[in-house]
Chain A
Amino acid sequence: MGDGSTLEPEGPALQDLSASEIESILDAAASFKKSKTSKALAGRVATLIFSEPSTSTRSSFEIAARRLSAEVLGFSTASSSLLKGETLLDTIWNLEAMGVEYFVVRHEVSGILEELAPRTKASLINAGDGAHEHPTQALLDILTLREKKGALKGLKVVIVGDILHSRVARSNIHGLKKLGAKVTVCGPRALVPSGIESLGAAVSHDLDAALSGADAVNVLRLQLERQKENFVTSLPDYYAAYGVTAERLSKIPGCAVLHPGPMNRGVEIESAAADGPQSAILEQVSNGVLVRMAVLALIEEWRSHAG
Chain B
Amino acid sequence: MPGNLVIKGGLVVDPSQRLEEVRDVFVEGGKIAKKAPEGALVVDAAGCWVVPGLVDMHVHLREPGREADETIASGAAAAAAGGVTTVLAMPNTEPPLDNPSLLSLLRAKAAIDAKVNVLFAAAVSLGQRGAALTEIFRLREAGAAALSDDGRPVMDSGLMRRALEYSRDAGLLLIDHAEDLGLSAAAPMNEGPAAAAKGLRGAPWSAETIHVLRDVALCELTGAGVHIAHISAAQSVAAVRSAKKRGLPISAEAAPHHFALTDGDIEGFDADYKMNPPLRSKADREALLEGLADGTIDAIATDHAPHDGAKKAAGLALAPCGVIGLETSLGLALTLLVAKKVIDKKRLVELMSAGPARLLGLKGKGSLRPGCDGDVTIVDPKARWTVPGSFISKSRNSPFLGMNLKGRAKATIVAGEVVHAL
Residues in chain A within 8 A of chain B (CB atoms): 15, 83-86, 109-112, 114-115, 129-133, 164-167, 170, 193-199
Contacts A131-B200, A164-B201, A193-B202 given; does A111 touch B315 at CB 8 Å: yes
Which B residues are CB-close (under 8 A) to A165? 199
Cβ of A128 to closest chain B Cβ, rounded Å: 10
Tell me, yes or no, whether B360 is within 8 Å of chain A by CB.
no
A83 contacts B196, C-beta separation under 8 Å: no
Interface string of B178-212 (1 = CB under 8 A from A): 00000000000001111111111110000000000
B191 contacts A195, C-beta separation under 8 Å: yes
Bound complex: CA of A86 vs CA of B309, how far in Å?
11
A199 contacts B315, C-beta separation under 8 Å: no
Could you write out 12 A-B pairs with CB less than 8 Å apart? A110-B198, A110-B199, A110-B269, A112-B269, A112-B317, A131-B199, A132-B198, A133-B199, A193-B202, A195-B191, A195-B196, A197-B193
A198 contacts B197, C-beta separation under 8 Å: yes
Which A residues are CB-close (under 8 A) to B269? 110-112, 114-115
B195 contacts A195, C-beta separation under 8 Å: yes
Which A residues are CB-close (under 8 A) to B310? 86
Which B residues are CB-close (under 8 A) to A196? 193, 196
Which B residues are CB-close (under 8 A) to A195? 191-197, 202
The 4 closest A-B pairs by CB, nearest first: A111-B269, A195-B193, A131-B199, A132-B199
Which A residues are CB-close (under 8 A) to B194? 195
Residues in chain B within 8 A of chain A (CB atoms): 191-202, 268-269, 310, 313-318
Which A residues are CB-close (under 8 A) to B192? 194-195
Residue from B196, B313, B318 with most neighbouring chain A CB atoms (10 Å)? B196
Q: In this complex, what residue of B is CB-closest to A170?
A: B199
Which B residues are CB-close (under 8 A) to A114? 268-269, 315
Q: Pick the contact of B196 from A85, A86, A199 — CB < 8 Å?
A: A199
Which B residues are CB-close (under 8 A) to A164? 201
> Assuming A111-B317, A198-B196, A199-B193, what are 16 further A-B pairs, CB within 8 angstroms?
A85-B314, A86-B310, A86-B313, A110-B198, A110-B316, A110-B317, A111-B199, A111-B315, A112-B317, A115-B269, A131-B199, A132-B200, A195-B193, A196-B196, A197-B193, A198-B193
Cβ of A39 to closest chain B Cβ, rounded Å: 36
B314 contacts A84, C-beta separation under 8 Å: yes
Cβ of A85 to closest chain B Cβ, rounded Å: 5
Q: Pick the contact of A110 from B200, B313, B314 — CB < 8 Å?
A: B200
Q: In this complex, what residue of A is CB-closest to B188?
A: A110
A86 contacts B193, C-beta separation under 8 Å: no
Cβ of B247 to closest chain A Cβ, rounded Å: 36
Q: In this complex, what residue of B is CB-closest to A110?
A: B199
Which B residues are CB-close (under 8 A) to A194? 191-193, 196, 202
Cβ of A302 to closest chain B Cβ, rounded Å: 21
Residue from A15, A84, A129, A197 with most neighbouring chain B CB atoms (10 Å)? A84
Q: In this complex, what residue of A is CB-closest to B267?
A: A114
Bound complex: CA of A114 vs CA of B198, how far in Å?
11
Residue from A84, A110, A167, A170 with most neighbouring chain B CB atoms (10 Å)? A110
Q: In this complex, what residue of A is CB-closest to B197?
A: A199
Cβ of A225 to closest chain B Cβ, rounded Å: 15
Bound complex: CA of A20 vs CA of B258, how far in Å?
39
B202 contacts A83, C-beta separation under 8 Å: no
Cβ of A145 to closest chain B Cβ, rounded Å: 22
A112 contacts B200, C-beta separation under 8 Å: no
Cβ of A11 to closest chain B Cβ, rounded Å: 15
Bound complex: CA of A186 vs CA of B202, how far in Å?
19
B199 contacts A85, C-beta separation under 8 Å: no
Q: Pick the contact of B199 from A83, A84, A115, A130 — CB < 8 Å?
A: A130
Bound complex: CA of A175 vs CA of B78, how far in Å?
47
Which B residues are CB-close (under 8 A) to A109? 315, 317-318
Cβ of B43 to closest chain A Cβ, rounded Å: 46
Which A residues are CB-close (under 8 A) to B193? 194-199
A130 contacts B317, C-beta separation under 8 Å: yes
Bound complex: CA of A170 vs CA of B269, how far in Å?
16
Which A residues are CB-close (under 8 A) to B315? 85, 109, 111-112, 114-115
Which A residues are CB-close (under 8 A) to B314? 84-86, 115
A85 contacts B318, C-beta separation under 8 Å: yes
Cβ of B68 to closest chain A Cβ, rounded Å: 15
Residue from B191, B192, B199 with most neighbouring chain A CB atoms (10 Å)? B199
Which B residues are CB-close (under 8 A) to A110? 198-200, 269, 316-317
Cβ of A163 to closest chain B Cβ, rounded Å: 9
B318 contacts A193, C-beta separation under 8 Å: no
Bound complex: CA of A111 vs CA of B199, how far in Å?
8
Bound complex: CA of A85 vs CA of B317, how far in Å?
10
Which B residues are CB-close (under 8 A) to A132? 198-200
Contacts A110-B198, A133-B199 given; does A193 touch B191 at CB 8 Å: yes
A193 contacts B317, C-beta separation under 8 Å: no
Bound complex: CA of A83 vs CA of B319, how far in Å?
11
Bound complex: CA of A83 vs CA of B317, how far in Å?
11
Which B residues are CB-close (under 8 A) to A129? 199
Which A residues are CB-close (under 8 A) to B197? 15, 170, 195, 198-199
Bound complex: CA of A131 vs CA of B310, how far in Å?
24
A83 contacts B318, C-beta separation under 8 Å: yes
Q: In this complex, what residue of B is CB-closest to A84?
A: B314
Q: In this complex, what residue of A is CB-closest to B317?
A: A109
